[in-house]
Amino acid sequence: MSVAETLRLRLEAAFEPQALAILDESERHRGHAGHRPGGETHFRIRIVSSAFAGLSRLARQRRVHEVLAAEIAGGIHALSLELRTPEEAASA
């Protein structure tokens, strides 16, 4: 199973998102720290979930990092996170 597939399964289970996008941006970081041949080191993740309601931006990021702790420890070098509630996504 790819890293992206593992991320999707964990994030879906934890946040029951209305929308989830996982983009592997590893190629954009070729030659930079943390890049490995084959990619799956740098990800942009967008989640729309009511689970983020009432949480600060930092608290949302901490929750995602907790859910993905094993993957981060296992070789993900960078995560770019866009975490919104359905109401925030509708007004964006």
- Give the pLDDT confidence of 76-92 residue by residue, as tens digits: 888 999 999 999 999 97
pLDDT of 40 reads 79
- Give the pLDDT confidence of 13-69 residue by residue, as tens digits: 999 999 999 999 886 655 665 555 666 788 999 999 999 999 999 999 999 999 999
pLDDT of 28 reads 66
79 class by beta-carbon count within 10 Å (0-12 exposed, 13-18 middle, 19+ buried)? middle
What domains appear along the chain, each with residue ranges and CATH number? Answer: 3-91 (3.30.300.90)
pLDDT of 57 reads 97
Burial 36-74 (b: 16+ CB within 10 A, else e): eeebbbbbebbbbbebbeeeeeeebeebbeebbeebeee
Q: Which amino acid would we find at residue 3?
A: V
Q: How many helices and strands, by DSSP H and E, does the chain display?
A: 4, 3
